[in-house]
Structure 1
């Protein structure tokens, strides 16, 4: 494995090496069956076992209560921007949304295609460098749900707390920070997460939905997008993304082997603290996000002189530190340090950043 690099991509992101090796070993012959998981019938006993084990392990990792359904769906989180209002927003109803960055704004724009949206709070007055406190929010009295993105991968803004919205269902896009630390699932009506960051490869989205929210889809909602149809059919109304589901299951098993979300959360806390502490003490690098709202998973930073961006990235690539270029909408750099990005990767990055600062600072 000498050719493996340190991959800081925001998504599709790094996968645990142990997971890739196991998938490689089972690629042509899964557990002596003489065929690949990609070739199995999704109705077979073999794949049913894979699916059931994956769900069991995810429930175990997140302590998901029994009154929640776990769905393994297609389309990614962006499809959920439409699927959520089609299932939860009555045609004459209103939904509250929080605007903390690009992904939450995309969700807002999509929801407006299906009904009334109240932007209850926005980070825009803070240049998207801080999350407005709940005392600033203007929540509706009769909202069908409250939606927020728990972590903005592009801007590096993350909720370190769960909003309090009373009896109104709380809906969260947790695509980039699910499984990064423990969370109380019972606080939410629905959680969705694209797989390609902390769960597995792209093409899969995991949705965790409280049972009482099923059966509310509009009559115009396509059958494939109805959460109840998915739940009633065990996420197999049609042929699911079997390979992605299988790999997600391997990631869940790997995470349990690491000690679960409690253990990985402690590691993630150390990783992000190490990186932010270095940036804050530096004269060359900077991060503009309010300290209480900094993302654990996506760490954006800028160099004091933009002319140094290209040589920084070139030097990083030579050292096997890949995908550090920031999103085109914000520029600068971004290190995504999901669960599969170990402390050795962070240490290698910090070593290079110190070396580069010594030469160019």
Structure 2
């Protein structure tokens, strides 16, 4: 394999040892099952249990709830990178979703009782969780959500719908963003943990996407679902600020995935270009191709440096929403440019699914959309600049 990667300096020996464990796990427990899970449009539940047994779930969560007790985001970044490196992006979203989307809400805002009920069994691989923010009519505009939770004594009565929910079919519980006070704007939004066996809860799926076949994606429906008020996560009316607190890590996870995938895709395209002959010479010997490769190699290394800085910021709890937005939009958009050139270098073979570059072409397109579109990321950055 041809490589132009520069050495990375943000990891120490403990991270390297953990990476070896993750890499072996992915080779043993993920890669052999990818076609099977693609056909089923979801991973097998055993993946969560095996990941828990290997220590891949909740490394940063408190030990008393079954976590690793190591407050270092770099370990979660390694899990994401190693799944993405082999093209297991869909499977990474299942495991990474629990590490980087769901567990942080419980760690930051959950009571001991809530964490014993939902976080602990999730980290043990016994329960699967999901985060339900996006709605059919709102997309990236989370402030416009319309799912309501009407107070009724010691309960809320939840009505509404969510869509594009990862782990939506497998989930035993969901953290749903709901409007508990229709008149209070942002202060009327709360996070509510809802068990999926509650009467009135329903789901539809799997949704058939362009790529990410093994990533379980569903629509959720709430029809007068009665939920105890004790299931509110982090206090009533505080859901908006809690989402703003946690969304940077979600966006960072997306950026890390795109970074790892684009590196792998670039390496594959470079290796192909050095081996493939056309018109009596290697593809890489055409000056236009060398220039394209030189440009992308440089942009990849510059971007990796920025992403690594963001990973360190996240590990030290200094990652803010603007920096995460920068990382998310820049990395996912560069990923698209890398893929376009990689497919072109492969010629017709780049359009064949048995080639990893074709799979990356399908799986990566949504990265500029979910977690907040590129346009929303620029809006977040622009608003901060305008202030």
Q: Which of the five TM-score ranges fits, normalised by the shorter chain?
A: under 0.3
* TM-score (normalizing by structure 1): 0.27
RCO greater where, 1 or 2, for CA within 8 Å and sep 6 or more?
Answer: 1
* TM-score (normalizing by structure 2): 0.26
